[in-house]
Structure 1
Amino acid sequence: MSHEFRELLKKIGSGTHTHKDLTRAEAATATRLLLTGEATPAQIGAFLIAHRIKRPTAEELAGMLDAYEEYGPLLPKRDLPGPLIIFGHPYDGRSRTAPVGVLVALLLATAGSAVLLHGSGLCPTKYGLPLEALWRGLGVEWRGLSLERVGQLLEQTGLGFLYLPDCFPQAQALMDYRDQIGKRPPLATLELVWAPYDGPFHLIAGYVHPPTEATMVQLFALRGIPTFTTVKGLEGSCDLPRDRTAILNHAGKRLLLKAHDYALAGSEIPLGSPEDLIRQMQHMLAGQPCELTPAALWNGGSYLWHLGHAPSLEEGIQLARELFCSGRVMDKVRQLTHLVQPSYL
């Protein structure tokens, strides 16, 4: 048993009226003890549920990210065309609506940005469809790649994906606790705001509840992250909704985007089988209209504009359409399929 961890657990788990928040240094210590396994299973489970009930502060999350930076992977700075675009999607995936994050990443890389995603396989508590499975469905296998190889691919293709079980097994080992307590602990918030890159980046983080956004903004200030965008996205992802106004916060500036203004509004696309979604994605890549088209154009066009590839949102949507229909996005998939060769295959 870790006596040091027990004292931190007592501090946050003392009840509604007597608990105390951790300092940034204490939160970093607690996370270190979680990652190294110095805390016992009983202590880890108690800490995760107590911290969820208490709700994490921005200072605590900053300390937890400090520990992630110390013990987790950090991609060295690479020769990229601009700041690396890092998307923070929930690792436990989607269960209700069809994700288009992979298509958006391909589109941005085709337009000239460098994009990094990170995630895992099936994760608790939702056990929804993860982005990694969609990449595999398109023939791109990110599992088994070294950190160095991911950095090389970023330079070569403008795309990278860090697969948690390979690149950060200490964090992956905590997934079982999430399943056992039946709730997302504050560790799940780190997935949205983790930026494992030692160079300039633009962090795009999804969220569900408005208080989470406020905490994120405070966290970015504490961590010295000047360039960020928060997105009230579908199921906490970075995917923009079409059936309501999309709410973004770009480094303190509020953006309200309406798909209705661009004839792309409609009901959100329900998530069917993974095989059906992959077929729709392949139709998009081939420039063929499909059920996924409005969501892909709305998200792709919005991000192309937001990240400087088009002077207006309308022109961003048109550029997205042209890139899909011309086959250039499909060419990016072919490039990745050719270059991404995990060591164990």
Structure 2
Amino acid sequence: MISPQELIRHVSQGKPLTLEQAAVAMEGIMTGEWTPAQIGSYITALHMKGETKDEIVGSAYVMRSKAFHLEVRQRPLIDIVGSGGDGLRTINVSTLAGLVCAGAGLHIAKHGNRAMTGQCGSADILEGLGVQIDISPADAIRGVDENGFAFLMAPHFHQSMKHAVGPRREIGIPTIFNHLGPLTNPVGPEYQLIGVNHRDNTRRFTDVLVGLGCQRSIVVHGADGMDEITLTGETYLVEQRAGKVQERTLVPEDFGMQRVPITELSLADKETAVHLAHDFLRGEAPRQHEDLVLLNAAAALYLCDKAANIADGVALARETLHSGAALHVLQKVVAYTNSRKLS
């Protein structure tokens, strides 16, 4: 068996790992065989080198194999998620887009966590909205069938990940785990909309998703660095359906939206983000924040054939938001999760 030191040395020299070597490394991390120093060194070296498709796939297979699993009746499922690490401090787009899509009839299995490198992760924003995060994995999954939206708190489903939490938080940079979060949803959604923080990752993530058996996916990256479809300028999009891949570039004007500078999308702190999320769900958020969320929701509606194209998806998403349907989904999720809080 190859040692942690050998794997770290290999990666630090800029050499890629095979799928099997990456799986060995992740097995060592998740079983607690590696020390915090070894974990921190390894994930930093991978980040500096740049993670390859095989390294991500091998790691994802191990994480998926160790996750809590329970079957969901409502299919197909979609997850909408950003890989994080863009450092832009915007509203939590993917979470709010998920609530809008659930209001429009999609079944959302939102896999996420608290913020590791940013100010407000999906768990932070949902807690601020009144959702009880501390429920059992089984109850969380049943929430998809009950409410059309469920939040799957990653540490509850990937308890073997506990060994990496300290090193991740202490080094404070994006790592392979930012990639793995969107790829290791424990209920295996058939469709995925993923935002990434580097253009090169749009095709890399698409290839990984195909390798992991995802039926349909859209991977996006804003030219401003945003791990969402952005309003500041161009967004690079890679769409995959049954392995057939198409790439294109989007701009806000394609959807009748105005470009805005990133300063108009940035938020000061977590409290501001939570307050804005409340305003958004009541249809009272400033237009640029509403447009940002709805444009990303539209891509998911299109991917799941709820809309013929993204432009039609924007119209459906806006109608859903202003009808109160997204807020109604949140209210159901709040009631459901608070009735199942772990004692």
Structure 1 residues 213 and 97 mapped into 2: Cα distance closer, same or farther (>3 Å)? same
Do the aligned residues in 2 keep the contact of 1:88 with 1:193 (CA within 8 Å)? no
1:238-271: CA deviation from partner (whole Å, max 9, x where unpaired): x310121222111111243322133322314121
Q: Which moved more, 1:267-276 or 1:242-251?
A: 267-276
In structure 1, the residue corresponding to 2:3 is in which secondary structure? helix
Structure 1 residues 146 and 39 mapped into 2: Cα distance closer, same or farther (>3 Å)? same
Do the aligned residues in 2 keep the contact of 1:192 with 1:206 (CA within 8 Å)? no
Structure 1 residues 226 and 261 mapped into 2: Cα distance closer, same or farther (>3 Å)? closer
Distance 1:301 1:148 in 2: 29
Do the aligned residues in 2 keep the contact of 1:92 with 1:122 (CA within 8 Å)? no
Distance 1:300 1:254 in 2: 19
Do the aligned residues in 2 keep the contact of 1:24 with 1:59 (CA within 8 Å)? yes
In structure 2, the residue corresponding to 1:331 is in which secondary structure? helix
- The counterpart of 1:97, out of the listed 71, 90, 96, is 90
Structure with the greater relative contact order (CA < 8 A, sep ≥ 6): 1 or 2? 2
Partner of 1:244: 233
Distance 2:174 2:167 in 1: 10
Do the aligned residues in 2 keep the contact of 1:77 with 1:197 (CA within 8 Å)? yes
Do the aligned residues in 2 keep the contact of 1:52 with 1:185 (CA within 8 Å)? yes
Give the C-alpha shift of residue 32 in structure 1: 0.7
Do the aligned residues in 2 keep the contact of 1:302 with 1:313 (CA within 8 Å)? yes
Give the C-alpha shift of residue 43 in structure 1: 2.4
1:287-308: CA deviation from partner (whole Å, max 9, x where unpaired): 3353433323333334333432
Distance 2:312 2:211 in 1: 36
Partner of 2:59: 64
Distance 1:330 1:134 in 2: 14
1:4-57: CA deviation from partner (whole Å, max 9, x where unpaired): 3333333333x24xx4x3221221111010111112233223322222233222
- The counterpart of 1:29, out of the listed 2, 24, 30, is 24
Distance 2:295 2:209 in 1: 27
Structure 1 residues 194 and 135 mapped into 2: Cα distance closer, same or farther (>3 Å)? same
Partner of 1:210: 199
Match for 1:38: what amino acid? E
Partner of 1:313: 310
Partner of 2:182: 192
- The counterpart of 1:264, out of the listed 257, 263, 282, is 257
Q: Which moved more, 1:287-296 or 1:96-105?
A: 287-296
Structure 1 residues 226 and 10 mapped into 2: Cα distance closer, same or farther (>3 Å)? same
Partner of 2:280: 284
Structure 1 residues 196 and 167 mapped into 2: Cα distance closer, same or farther (>3 Å)? closer
Give the C-alpha shift of residue 312 in structure 1: 4.0
Match for 1:26: what amino acid? Q
1:107-130: CA deviation from partner (whole Å, max 9, x where unpaired): 11111111122222231xx34211
Identity of counterpart residues, as a percentage?
Answer: 22
Structure 1, unpaired ranges of 5+? none
Do the aligned residues in 2 keep the contact of 1:88 with 1:194 (CA within 8 Å)? no
> RMSD of the alignment, in Å?
2.5
1:91-116: CA deviation from partner (whole Å, max 9, x where unpaired): 56854322322221011111111112
Give the C-alpha shift of residue 235 in structure 1: 5.0
In structure 2, the residue corresponding to 1:25 is in which secondary structure? helix
- The counterpart of 1:133, out of the listed 119, 124, 145, is 124
- How many residues align? The count is 333
Give the C-alpha shift of residue 3 in structure 1: 6.7
In structure 2, the residue corresponding to 1:340 is in which secondary structure? helix
Structure 1 residues 314 and 86 mapped into 2: Cα distance closer, same or farther (>3 Å)? closer
Structure 2, unpaired ranges of 5+? none
Structure 1 residues 243 and 165 mapped into 2: Cα distance closer, same or farther (>3 Å)? same
> Max radius of gyration: which structure?
1
Distance 1:69 1:289 in 2: 37
In structure 2, the residue corresponding to 1:197 is in which secondary structure? coil
- The counterpart of 2:319, out of the listed 318, 322, 334, is 322
Q: Does 1:154 align with 2:144?
A: yes
Distance 1:231 1:145 in 2: 31
Structure 1 residues 224 and 193 mapped into 2: Cα distance closer, same or farther (>3 Å)? same
Structure 1 residue ranges (4+ consecutive) displaced by more than 6 angstroms after TM superposition: none
Structure 1 residues 7 and 88 mapped into 2: Cα distance closer, same or farther (>3 Å)? same
Q: TM-score, normalised by structure 2?
A: 0.87
Give the C-alpha shift of residue 151 in structure 1: 1.7
